[in-house]
Amino acid sequence: MSTIFETRYASSPKAVKQYNTKQLRDEFLIPDLMQTGKVKFVYTHYDRYMAGGAVPTSDLKLETIDPLKADYFLERRELGIINVGGSGSISVDGDIFKVNHKDALYIGKGAKEVIFMSDDSSNPAKFYMNSAPAHNAYPTKKTSLAEANKIELGSLETANHRTVSQMIIGGIITTCQLQMGMTELKTGSVWNTMPAHVHDRRMEIYFYLDVPKEQAVCHFMGQPQETRHIWMHNHEAVISPPWSIHSGSGTSNYTFIWGMAGENLDYNDMDVAKITDLR
């Protein structure tokens, strides 16, 4: 079997206040998602959200896992994919979609056979995946980075000049609850998601990429009045509970993929914390 999975249970903010560094990392950090020749998933109990990676050196099939109690992976789920590696393709019930570097593909509920492929096994595709429960079936659709809805935010003066690319989101792709996109920091900028915020109606996962080998990102989480941090490296993800802020600062500029699900699809539904109120 080429699929690895683990389960992460939800944690209360009261408990997290007592966590040491190792406990924080064990609960929220997701390392080693991109394993050559394998599919890896982390199944969280935050909105039953899943994060995963697939690195095909030969054809890799999306298989169901025990926590889903389903005959096939997408029996009751939807799936968003962004390729962070070499060029590749994804077959969905026989229809083949070319998914190049930083292209996104949405696959709706009910697709039975999903196969991941790389154009070059020596430079394989690295498919980063998010999945959420779905109550309706919507069409499979691809979005390239060029086709994304782009929003310019921040400034170089405050070290947070960035481009947000909305890729799997209403107006571009119809989904049940899954939303995904990519945020790229400009050279000289290091802060993401400022001002910090929470959205108690949705949870979120960040996946960091384009982090230079000798550099790192310090990801901030926790309630605004009592924050914590986790040091992260390239191709690592971090779980953000609904009660937690999710922002970071790098020792270099970088890119991250955000994905979320929950009660609504309102991207702007957030409770902002003033920078001067963070503790």
Residue ranges of domains in the chain: 3-277
Q: Which helix (H) or strand (E) holds 146?
A: none
Q: pLDDT exceeding 70 applies to what percent of the chain? A: 100
Residue 88, pLDDT > 70, answer yes
User: Rounded to an integer, what distance in angstroms lies between the CA atom of residue 232 and that of residue 220?
Assistant: 10
268 falls in which pLDDT band (50, 70, 90)?
A: confident
pLDDT tens readout for residues 115-174: 999 999 999 999 999 999 999 999 999 999 999 999 999 999 999 999 999 999 999 999
Please say whether the structural domain 3-277 has been given the CATH code 3.30.930.10: no
Query: Is residue 40 scored above 90 in pLDDT?
Result: yes
pLDDT at 22 over 90: yes
Where does the pLDDT of residue 266 fall: very low under 50, low under 70, confident under 90, or very high at 90 and above? confident
Q: Which of 41, 23, 44, 42 is nearest to 202 (CA)?
A: 44
pTM over 0.85: yes
* pLDDT score at 1: 66
CA distances from 73 to 62, 117, 144, 206, 225 (A): 7, 18, 24, 22, 39
Kind and range of the H or E run holding 27:
helix 21-28
Confidence band, pLDDT 50/70/90 cuts, at residue 188: very high
What tens digit of pLDDT does each residue of 207-263 get?
Answer: 999 999 999 999 999 999 999 999 999 999 999 999 999 999 999 999 999 999 998
